[in-house]
Each structure stands twice: as structure tokens, then as C-alpha cells.
Amino acid sequence: MSRKLILGIETSCDETAAAVVAGGSDVLSSVVSSQIEIHQRYGGVVPEVASRAHVEMMIPVVADAMVEAGVEPADLDAVAATVGPGLIGSLLIGVSAAKSLALVWDKPFVAVNHLEAHLYASFLEEPDLPLPLVVLLVSGGHTMLVLMEGHGQYRLLGETVDDAAGEAFDKVARYLGLGYPGGPVIDELSNQGDPHAIAFPRAMMKDGYNFSFSGLKTSVVNHVRKNPDVEAADVAASFQEAVVDVLLTKATAAVREHDAVGLCLAGGVAANSSLRERALDVAAELGVRAFVPSRSMCTDNAAMVAAAGWWRLQSDGPAPLDQGASSSLRLPTL
């Protein structure tokens, strides 16, 4: 394994992040400047505000990542950045910064798919993960079940037909008046509630590997409207239980059907306490290994971008400097 040093840059949504990773898994620094406080007053991410904050934070965050890692530009082997999917204005800030640095420092530029970066978060902590793996990628913008057969070799088994799991957490939290982002608040509040208090629907349980969360969100709203005195903690816990049930039922079926040797979680929702605990139980029952990245590697960060960039540099080589950004980039599948 080469010890190539990659500077990763991530600006696809509301986190300005930079990291230096050696050899695809040795994290020398990982700096994340979150814009949560800026967007909280609007109840969600405002794209134009996010872009402006990225412009302000980009250079200081890169400088911090380089200083923390103790490396000079000359030590780097490449600069990698997320080129999509995400908010186009935000993506362009990171891509432009990465290309400029690559040009000035005379280093190759590597284009990274944000979804692939999430898949690589597990490899930061477990570089020798055995394959094939079923990865449950659950974030604010995506919910997908991926069969990872090899590096860069993905089969998309299923995805959400409407809201992403994280989006459902955020919308339910907003409806309950719990603020933004919803995932962490619902996670916390659920500790005080009864996950079996309300029987919310589990959609598409027998329909293959696709997911649907928009009906669940509507059920929560209807239930609270009809029962205004219901305990918010019971609503949160029962909602979370329904989401986790669906996610893990489908992930279990995918591991069985494809004889996967491991089950991996990725994306911001993988920071959820109940999902993490139950994924470990499910993997133990299935007799496969479970890989659950640490919480800071589940939510958006640049270490995962550098890790994916390291693999992409070896398999595809550098990207041209006229590489653009794409808000709707798909995971490259087989």
C-alpha cells in the first residue's frame, strides 16, 4: 500500500472540511467547520448562505488541516475534492479551491464522488475490510443499499423513492419544533421515550430493497395533530424505531441474498445510536462482521474524501483541471 499523502476537501453541503490522509487510511488531520449555527435560524440549509460561508472558511480550514498534520504543500501527492452530488454553489467553492491549490502546488487534482467518499469512511478505521460488503448509506440527501464487491465496484441494490432517511429525521424534528438538524435531537430525545408507544407504518417492507419515508413523516404529523398531548419523546422514539426497523430489515435481506461477509453503515444517519447498536446485533445474528465508523466519520468530513481520492487516484489517475461540479452526480455502479 502506498503512503501517498492526500489533501481532501469537502464542501458539498453545510460543512467546510479539509483533511490530510496518508496511505488512504492514516488520518493526520481532519478539520470540519460546521455551519449548523448559521442555518439553524432558518430551520434548514440555505444554499446561498452556505456558499458564502464556504468562501470564508475554505482557506482557514485547509491551513488548519495542513498545520495539524504537520505537512508542507511539497509533501502532498494530490489534492482531492468532492465534485458532487450536493449543493452546486457549495461544491464549486471546494472544487475551485482544490483545483487552484493543485495548480499552484503542481500536484494532481482528484475528483471525488461524495457518496463514494461516505462508503470509504469505514476504510479509514478498517483499511482491510473484507469484501463483498453490504453498505447501508443513509444521509440527509441519500438512502441506498449498496453491494460493494471490490474497490470502485458497486451494485446499487435499492434506494429511496422519495425522502432520504436523514431528510425524514429533519422534517419530523422541524414539525415537532425540535430544531435543525433533526437527527441528533431525535436520537437524544428518543432515550426518554418508548419506541413501541406508537405503531408508525413500515413502508415497502416486502418490496425489494427500495425505501419510502415520506408516508412515515405524514403519519407522524397526523398522529400529533390527532393527539396534541402526546409525549414528544414517545413520538421521536417510535418514529426512530420505524426508520431503523425498515433500514435493518432490508440490509439483513441484502446480506443474506448476496452472501456478503460484512455489513457497513455510512452517512450522517449512521451516527444514530439505535441504528448503530441494532446493526451490531443484526450482524452478530447473521454471523458477519459489522463496521460502524465513528460518529465524526459518518457525518460529512474530508478524511473520507481523501480516502476515496486515494483509491481513485490509483484506479483512474488525476482529473483534468477543467473538471466541473455536478449537483446530481450518481454513484458509479456496475
Q: Which of the stretches 71-79, 148-156, 180-188, 199-207 binds ligand KG4 when contact is defined by CB under 6 A?
A: 180-188
The CB-of-4 to ligand KG4 minimum distance in angstroms stands at: 25
By the rule CB under 6 A, 8 interacts with ligand KG4: no
Burial class of residue 285 in the structure, from the number of CB atoms within 10 Å of its CB (0-12 exposed, 13-18 middle, 19+ buried): exposed
By the rule CB under 6 A, 33 interacts with ligand KG4: no
By the rule CB under 6 A, 299 interacts with ligand KG4: yes
Q: Which is nearer to ligand KG4, 191 or 227 (CB)?
A: 191
Q: Would you tell me which residues interact with Zn ion (CB under 5 A)?
A: 139, 300
By the rule CB under 6 A, 140 interacts with ligand KG4: yes
Residue 270 touches which of Zn ion, ligand KG4, none (CB < 5 to 8 A by kind)?
Answer: none
Among 269, 282, 304, 313, binds ligand KG4 (CB under 6 A): 269
The CB-of-1 to ligand KG4 minimum distance in angstroms stands at: 27
The CB-of-118 to Zn ion minimum distance in angstroms stands at: 6
The CB-of-139 to ligand KG4 minimum distance in angstroms stands at: 3
Among 24, 89, 183, 309, binds ligand KG4 (CB under 6 A): 183
By the rule CB under 6 A, 187 interacts with ligand KG4: yes
The CB-of-321 to ligand KG4 minimum distance in angstroms stands at: 26
Q: Which is nearer to ligand KG4, 5 or 164 (CB)?
A: 164
What is the spatial distance between Cα 167 and Cα 152, in angstroms, rounded to a whole number?
27
By the rule CB under 6 A, 94 interacts with ligand KG4: no
Residue listed under C-alpha cell 412515515: 216
Q: Which of the stretches 137-145, 206-214, 219-227, 306-314 binds ligand KG4 when contact is defined by CB under 6 A?
A: 137-145
Q: Which is nearer to Zn ion, 237 or 275 (CB)?
A: 275
Q: Which is nearer to ligand KG4, 5 or 170 (CB)?
A: 170
Can you give the binding site for ligand KG4, defined by CB under 6 A?
Answer: 13, 139-141, 166, 169-170, 181-184, 187, 267-269, 271-272, 299-300
